[in-house]
């Protein structure tokens, strides 16, 4: 693969360690704690209904948060260079889990999709591991390899296995992350064009030939159609957003969480934030995410080597794309895809893996060029 442009940047091969980006660390902790509070609030009604305990989902999320913060702290001090050596193991675990999750004996179905593995009493979502392993694989491969076909083969196999679940939202996120990292890695424009057209055509066909995806797309084009059916979800989201006004109805006072709003503690949790904290609170949360993404971009700009740069770009793109897709769906600027909001939505696998990814980013920030 010929590079689309020459790299004139010179990297320091042996950067000295220094203090991490404390802004990055603080933002991660702030979002994690805020997410735990919102999960406790948003899930209380469903938890009492299903388990007779309003704190059921809070306790589970708290356990995952402790595990995730442990992984975050470990990754902050684990040299990022060693992740390159772990790529074969990560890919093996990813492919193994993606295959097992579609087998009825190991994976279990929820909400019409088989996306979770049952591991000794707790569930794990392989698609979240896939994002991290795919980023590390791309960063390692684009640092030293020249041929594009092995990269396309591995990427295509990963996307195919994720779509078997089926999970178009995660597939598109992984694909978009790949485009961002590949572009920064030196992808020629004509390859970007060919792959972009291929991805667009594939997404169009997956939407057209899938009844529920087609319904979501038609609902996105006309949110007023079928108010008690296909458009019910987005209409309830918009009611929550509108009910919040400027400063919200007050923390814990959401009315939409009383079984009106689907996926209230996962995909739709931003609607609860907007209802309770209003436009001001929702805008503040968006600004925190924007600041976090900017710090990630800055770490990538000052990365000590090309592998670190691509790794930082991949992790930052992961958070940015997932945040954008979730928020765009919540304000009816994109179809609903079932994409969780990083750090905020309920879900142990997502929280654990994204905290691990942020730990890698913090480790890179300890060795950035000044």
Report domain extents, the chain.
87-347
pLDDT at 14: 52
pLDDT at 77: 92
pLDDT at 50: 85
The stretches of the chain forming alpha helices (DSSP H) are 22-42, 44-51, 56-77, 87-101, 126-144, 149-163, 168-184, 189-208, 211-221, 232-244, 269-301, 306-330, 348-365
- Residue 107's beta-bridge partner residues? 117
pLDDT at 370: 60
pLDDT at 232: 80
Q: Report the C-alpha gap between 164 and 146 in whole angstroms.
A: 30
pLDDT at 2: 43
pLDDT at 112: 61
User: Nearest-CA neighbor of 31 among 292, 266, 280, 282?
Assistant: 292
User: Nearest-CA neighbor of 65 among 94, 101, 38?
Assistant: 38
Side-chain-side CA neighbours of 83 within 13 Å: the count stands at: 29
pLDDT tens, per residue, the chain with 370 residues = 444 444 445 554 455 678 888 999 999 999 999 999 999 999 988 888 888 889 999 999 999 999 999 999 999 999 999 999 999 999 999 999 888 888 877 777 766 667 778 776 677 888 899 999 999 999 998 887 667 778 888 888 998 888 887 777 888 899 899 889 888 877 777 777 777 777 777 777 777 766 667 777 777 666 677 666 667 888 888 888 888 888 889 888 888 888 788 888 888 899 999 999 999 999 999 999 999 999 999 999 999 889 999 999 999 999 999 999 999 988 888 887 778 899 999 988 899 999 999 999 999 998 877 6
- Residue 109's beta-bridge partner residues? 114
pLDDT at 188: 72
């Amino acid at each position: 693969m010929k590079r689309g442009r020459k790299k004139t940047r010179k990297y320091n091969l042996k950067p000295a360690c220094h203090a991490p980006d404390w802004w990055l660390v603080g933002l991660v902790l702030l979002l994690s704690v805020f997410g735990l509070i919102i999960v406790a609030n948003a899930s209380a009604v469903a938890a009492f209904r299903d388990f007779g305990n309003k704190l059921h989902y809070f306790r589970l999320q708290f356990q995952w948060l402790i595990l995730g913060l442990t992984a975050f702290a470990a990754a902050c001090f684990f040299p990022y260079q060693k992740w390159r050596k772990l790529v074969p193991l990560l890919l093996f675990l990813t492919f193994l889990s993606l295959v097992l999750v579609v087998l009825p004996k190991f994976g279990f179905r929820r909400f019409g999709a088989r996306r979770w593995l049952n591991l000794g009493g707790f569930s794990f979502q392989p698609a979240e591991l896939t994002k991290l392993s795919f980023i590390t694989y791309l960063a390692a491969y684009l640092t030293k390899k020249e041929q594009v076909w092995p990269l396309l083969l591995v990427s295509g196999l990963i996307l195919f296995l994720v779509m078997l679940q089926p999970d178009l939202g995660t597939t598109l996120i992984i694909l978009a992350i790949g485009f961002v990292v590949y572009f920064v890695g030196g992808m020629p424009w004509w390859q970007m064009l060919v792959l972009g057209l291929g991805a667009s055509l594939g997404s169009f066909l997956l939407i057209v030939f899938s009844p529920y995806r087609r319904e979501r797309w038609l609902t996105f084009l006309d949110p007023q159609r079928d108010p008690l059916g296909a458009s019910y979800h987005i209409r309830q989201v918009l009611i929550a957003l509108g009910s919040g006004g400027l400063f919200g109805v007050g923390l814990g006072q959401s009315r939409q969480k009383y079984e009106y709003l689907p996926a209230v503690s996962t995909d739709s949790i931003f609607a609860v934030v907007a209802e309770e904290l209003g436009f001001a609170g929702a805008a503040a949360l968006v600004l925190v995410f924007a600041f976090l993404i900017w710090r990630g971009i800055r770490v990538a700009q000052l990365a000590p080597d090309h592998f670190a740069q691509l790794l930082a770009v991949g992790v930052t793109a992961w958070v940015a794309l997932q945040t954008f897709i979730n928020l765009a769906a919540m304000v009816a600027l994109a179809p609903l895809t079932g994409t969780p909001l990083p750090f905020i939505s309920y879900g142990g696998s997502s929280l654990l893996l994204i905290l691990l990814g942020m730990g890698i980013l913090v480790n890179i920030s300890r060795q950035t060029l000044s």
